[in-house]
Amino acid sequence: MACLIRLFLLATFVLAGALPAGAAQKAALVIGNSAYRSVTPLVNPANDANDMAAALGRIGYAVTLVKDGDLAAMNDGLRAFLRDADHADSVVVFYSGHGVQVKGRNYLVPVSARISDELDLDTQTLSLDKLLELVDSAAPKVKIVILDSCRDNPLTRQLTRGAGTRGLARIDLDASSAKGTLIAFSTAPGSVAQDGSGRNSPFTTALLAHMETPGLDIRQMFGQVRADVDQSTQGGQTPWVNEAIIGSFAMAGKVETPQPVKAVDTTAPASVDQPAQGSVEIAPAATAGGDSQPNSTLQQNAALDFAAPDRTVPASVSPSFPCNGRLNPTENAICQDGGLAALDQTLSSAYGLINAALPKDLQAKLKANQTAWRAQRDECGADAACIGVSYRQRLAFLKSLVDKAAGTPSASPSFPCGGRLNPSERAICQSDTLARLDLALDNAFKARFRLLPKAEQASLSADQTAWRANRDRCGAQASCIEAAYRQRLSYLQSLQ
């Protein structure tokens, strides 16, 4: 009997860790929003969140991670974090993504937010005042709030009477709750921070460089962060800190017990508010004997390369559509950028392969879905970074359709499942999901390795070996291993 495989909006599949509330004396909430649906997507926040979560876990924080969360996911993450915070001596909240300042109040923007005017703020965003109030109610001794969300406000023109302004508003600590609190902004109040051209924003890059230093007092740490950001932005950005911590405090103590990262599931079902990805049901084809089997064409396509092309593409490369006639700003940008043109060619091929494997009724659904995505892509205008993010997200979604529909009952990792294996390797050999992640990472590593000159290949190999050693610290804990693989895959894909 044929069964339907339902494929949902996002290709983000995460498991919540099993760490009980109160198991650690330090708790953290990390949120990174990149894949905005109604405003300009951002390149780095998801990377910032991955790397900050991993670093905080290494220095003993029980981390709740939310990536590309809608408001419900952000609230779920906040609830889970507050359960840990009730038992913690120190807590950290880190947010990277779009933020909005309206009449002196700050709001953190979920990826799903559709804001037409001020009336939408209470129902579409997370109030920073409310978040701080909830953290205060947990009453930890030290409360650290870090906001890398001062990018240029994409919603200013949509908010009434010029209420929305650049950057975020200054926060003056309330006397009743100020003790033990530190609030850090990536730049001065009312100013705009840079998203950065590397894997992380300039602010997060500096944080990651210093926060794991054992015994480094937090005031000195942020002084070093400020100096690094000032230098990397050539004076264009100056982090701002307001604090009332009593005595000395170091985020990284002398000896720490690493903690796992608990990721909140942000996979969402399709709805009218989510046109760009949607869901597609693919029924496995029946064999002549009547048994149900996965669609054979999709099964073959599972081995195809859906990876985004290397960025160093000649400008002469043309996209899948003609670069003449009446083009919108996004199409013009694609025609003038070889990298974007190559992305368009890759996406066009992937779409064609999947479409050819579907029956007529599902072809119509996929076509409508693709048309909706294209309209969303065009909201980027001529912003090349935004267009690139949109294409890479769409490629990941199409690849997830193939993987889900053509998956076989079992998979083997890149290494042999025999002989002497450590606990992590045994766990990978016993899990379909982990084995497929291992194969995907192995392919991504080899693809990147082949593109590098000889002098840089050794460095990447050493980096991969160091990552593998870090993965093995998870032991047999599947959620920890999966998080390690997804973080590493994200990093390697960002290098493409």
Place of tokens 């092309």: 309
Classified as helix, coil or strand, 402 is: helix
Q: 451 and 305, same structural domain?
A: no
416 occurs within a structural domain: no
231 occurs within a structural domain: yes
Residue 57 structure tokens: 């876990």
Residue 291: which residues within 8 A CB-CB, separation 6 or more?
A: none
Q: 135 and 55, same structural domain?
A: yes
340 occurs within a structural domain: yes
Q: 249 and 319, same structural domain?
A: no
Whole-number pLDDT of residue 390: 79
Q: 478-494 and 432-451 are packed helices; what angle lies between their axes, rounded to 10 degrees?
A: 20
Residue 321 structure tokens: 């559509």
23 occurs within a structural domain: yes
Q: 211 and 300, same structural domain?
A: no
CA-nearest of 437, 281, 255 to 359 is: 281
414 occurs within a structural domain: no
Q: 436 and 372, same structural domain?
A: no
Residue 364 structure tokens: 């119509």
| Cβ neighbour number for residue 180 with a 10 Å cutoff | 21
CA-nearest of 102, 119, 108 to 163 is: 102
* CA distance linking residue 38 with residue 25, whole number of Å: 39
Q: 254 and 299, same structural domain?
A: no
Strand pairing report for 142-148 and 181-185: parallel
411 occurs within a structural domain: no
Distance of CA 329 to the CA centre of its chain: 27
Residue 29 structure tokens: 């909430």
CA-nearest of 218, 211, 287, 267 to 246 is: 218
Whole-number pLDDT of residue 86: 84
Q: 16 and 155, same structural domain?
A: yes
Chunked in runs of 10, what are the mean pLDDT values of the chain (496 residues)? 28 30 72 84 85 91 92 90 88 90 84 81 87 85 87 48 43 65 79 65 90 90 90 82 88 76 64 42 38 44 48 65 88 89 84 79 82 84 82 76 53 74 85 84 84 84 87 87 86 74
Q: 428 and 350, same structural domain?
A: no
Domain span holding position 144: 12-263
* CA distance linking residue 388 with residue 385, whole number of Å: 5
Angle at 167 between CA 166 and CA 168, to 5 degrees: 125
Inter-CA distances, 194 with 45, 204, 238, 384, Å: 11, 11, 11, 16
Q: What CATH number is associated with residue 164?
A: 3.40.50.1460
Number of compact structural domains in the chain: 3
Q: 215 and 181, same structural domain?
A: yes
Strand runs labelled E in 174-332: 181-185, 240-243, 261-263, 280-282
pTM assigned to the model: 0.52
What letter represents residue 346's amino acid?
Answer: T
DSSP string spanning 1-12?
A: ----EEE-S---
Q: 398 and 434, same structural domain?
A: no
Total number of residues shown for the chain:
496
Helix (H) or strand (E) holding 29: strand 26-32
Residue 153 structure tokens: 């406000």
Whole-number pLDDT of residue 266: 67
| Residue 447 dihedral angles phi and psi, to the nearest 5° | -60, -45
249 occurs within a structural domain: yes
Q: 69 and 178, same structural domain?
A: yes
Whether 330 contacts 337, CB under 8 Å: no
379 occurs within a structural domain: yes
CA-nearest of 154, 201, 240, 206 to 49 is: 201
Strand runs labelled E in 159-316: 164-165, 181-185, 240-243, 261-263, 280-282
Domain boundary among the residues 219, 242, 263 is at 263
Q: 369 and 246, same structural domain?
A: no
Whole-number pLDDT of residue 74: 92
